Structure 1
Amino acid sequence: MHPLKHFITITKHRNEVIRLCFKAGIGFQGLFHDLSKYSPTEFIPGAKYYMGDQSPNNGERYDKGYSLAWMHHKGRNKHHFEFWYDYEMATKKLVPIDMPDRYIKEMFCDRVAASKTYGKSSYTQESPLLYLTKSTAREKMTEKTYRKLLYLLKMLAEKGEKETLAFMRRTKVLPEAEI
């Protein structure tokens, strides 16, 4: 068990998200970011499976085959695309729903902060984009949500954090990247 190390890591991550959210014009939202990580349901497995260089949810998955902490987390935090699923009435299948732009902005801030927290000195402004494009997230989000997140991450990679956050602050409706 590594409760202190886990506490320091999640707090460092959360503080970076708050900083980014304020610069992106969604500061109030940032203040409530990831508070569920301090709940016993998420904190105890986080401390038990702490690795330092990746999410402890992966450690729980390696051990149990699933992560109850992650299921708790994604169901309470709207900046995760996994929150935005519902049943389609015609097919009764679970399908993704377009995320509101304010939560896409927070998702961007979360991904940048996570890349910095877990990547440490290897972080570059391209890191969050590379993480997205190497993942299977595209097939799990709506095309519109993916393209909006991709637009922001490409801007970060090309123009940097300061310019991207200023753009987010002044933009109500996010554009979609060309794919």
Structure 2
Amino acid sequence: MKSYWKYLLYILEHKLNVLLECWKEGLYVQGMMHDMSKFNPIEFFPYARKFYLNKKLDEFEWEYAWLHHQHHNKHHWNYWVVDSVKREALPMPRKYLLEMICDYRSFSRTWGRKRIDTDMADRLIRNLLTEKVILHPKTRKECEFFIRKINESNIAK
């Protein structure tokens, strides 16, 4: 039971951190609605067992939970992939692209406060420009623009 409480606290912390990042971009509703599917039992229990009980999950259960999450949250690039073999994706609307970047930037926060260590957030954001991530060419260009903007604002600080 303790592991489920820990996971619930993690979700609430993550949602707070994403809300703060989305707020800066004017994505108020998205910031509040971000990752609501994580409360769905299809996702909640497998995630809690995997990350807080260190329990070996049935591979199907985990894959189903992750697939459910991707297909219920438009801020995941995977949501927009049409054909992974041909590496084809639909253009991602700007608001979801921004929410995805806010999601990644949120990892530089702990309960709303900025952390000194931002490695994870930086790695996730840089990963968007690699071949591992399948994006529509228009979306990739927009990603590059926003990442350049983030880098410029980090240098200015």
What is the TM-score with the length of structure 1 in the denominator? 0.67
Q: 2:98 aligns with which of 105, 117, 120?
A: 105
1:3-58 deviation per Cα after TM superposition (whole angstroms, max 9, x unaligned): 11111111101111112112211101211110000110000011101159xxx9xx
Q: Using the alignment, how far apart are the partners of 1:144 and 1:138 within structure 2?
A: 17
- 1:86 aligned onto 2:109: no
2:148 corresponds to 1:158: no
What amino acid is the match of 2:80?
W
Note if 1:64 corresponds to 2:65.
no
Name the SS of the counterpart of 1:79 in structure 2.
coil
Offset, 1:69: 1.2
Distance 1:115 1:145 in 2: 24
Distance 1:128 1:75 in 2: 23
Contact 2:77-2:133 within 8 A present in 1 as well: no
Q: TM-score, normalised by structure 2?
A: 0.76
Corresponding residue for residue 145 of structure 1: 139
Aligned residues: 147
The 2-side partners of 1:19 and 1:51 are apart by 25
Residues 155 and 129 of structure 1: CA distance in aligned 2, closer, same or farther (over 3 Å) = farther
CA contact (8 A) 1:79 1:107 kept: yes
Instruction: Provide the residue aligned with 1:171 in structure 2.
Output: none
In structure 2, what is the Cα distance between the partners aligned to 1:84 and 1:72? 14
CA contact (8 A) 1:129 1:150 kept: no
Structure 1 counterpart of 2:5, which letter? L
Deviations 1:110-143 (A, max 9, x none): 11113546xx95633x653433434756541123
Map of 2:25 onto structure 1? 24
2:79 maps to amino acid? F
- Which residue matches 1:37? 38
- The separation in 2 between residues aligned to 1:138 and 1:107, in whole angstroms, is 16
Q: Determine helix, strand or coil for the equivalent of 1:99.
A: coil
Quick one: percent identity of the two aligned structures? 31
CA distance in 1, matches of 2:33, 2:74: 11
Structure 1 residue runs of 5 or longer lacking an equivalent are 88-92, 164-179
Aligned partners of 1:121 and 1:82: how far apart in 2? Answer: 28
Equivalent AA in structure 1 for residue 139 of structure 2:
T
Unaligned runs of 5+ in 2: none
Distance 1:106 1:78, change over 3 A: same
Pairwise CA RMSD: 3.1
Shift of 1:100: 0.6
